[in-house]
Chain A
Amino acid sequence: GAGVSQSPSNKVTEKGKDVELRCDPISGHTALYWYRQSLGQGLEFLIYFQGNSAPDKSGLPSDRFSAERTGGSVSTLTIQRTQQEDSAVYLCASSSTGGGYSEQFFGPGTRLTVL
């Protein structure tokens, strides 16, 4: 079946602009995660959605970052007033359950470049 999909695959923007990154999880997966992959920083957890529960936003680096998950499916990560340090690959993952660990399946990522 289809895996996690993300769009766009690449995004180039100017400093100060807002960007939206989209994630379509695997159908039926209740948990959705956003991570950031930066050169030299590895993979950082950003935010986690589980069903209808309040999201865990503990990894968001600043209030310029926000995320929504509509209808328990598609998620959008929004970065306002982008800065050059926001340049990274943003990865989305989904898993089937939230009660106890289930394997997270990753999307191909969105490469964000802030000029």
Chain B
Amino acid sequence: AQRVTQPEKLLSVFKGAPVELKCNYSYSGSPELFWYVQYSRQRLQLLLRHISRESIKGFTADLNKGETSFHLKKPFAQEEDSAMYYCALLRGAQKLVFGQGTRLTINP
């Protein structure tokens, strides 16, 4: 079964510290993975997609097929990074399978 696991429901780090949000997946085939973010009182929005290999707002995520992981990283956290983060796996052409989400809090 295709599944996305985010083991941390809550993550709290200090401003300026590195942050890593964990995501593991199970999928038979070549996965297509995403990170979505929901800031307070805003809509869920795409943060980054592994195929594009971009760095968005200082965040990067590398697909590790051996470890079936797609962890989201940022070297220096900022207060505006506080949000709910969801890892997602594309199933078929369009359906997204989401993890349970990690609420990231950046402390000043």
Contact = CB atoms under 8 A, between A and B. Distances in A.
Interface of A: 3, 31, 33, 35, 40-45, 48, 50, 56, 59, 91, 95, 98-109
Interface residues of B, number: 18
B1 interface: no
A102 B31 CA distance: 15
B60 to A, nearest CB: 19
Interface of B: 6, 32, 43-46, 86, 88, 90, 93-101
A107 B42 CA distance: 9
Contacts of B43: 3, 106-109
A42 B93 contact: no
A8 to B, nearest CB: 16
Given A3-B43, A103-B46, A107-B43, A45 B93 contact: no
A43 B94 contact: no
Given A43-B86, A101-B32, A101-B90, A106 B97 contact: no
A71 B65 CA distance: 42
Nearest to A100: B93
A60 B46 CA distance: 24
5 contacts: A33-B96, A42-B98, A43-B96, A48-B94, A109-B43
Given A59-B95, A100-B93, A109-B43, 12 more contacts: A35-B96, A45-B97, A48-B95, A56-B95, A95-B94, A101-B32, A101-B90, A103-B46, A104-B46, A104-B94, A104-B96, A107-B43
Contacts of B99: 42
The 4 closest A-B pairs by CB, nearest first: A42-B100, A43-B98, A106-B44, A106-B43
Nearest to B46: A103
B93 A101 contact: yes
B48 to A, nearest CB: 11
A50 B98 contact: no
Given A43-B86, A91-B44, A106-B43, A98 B100 contact: no
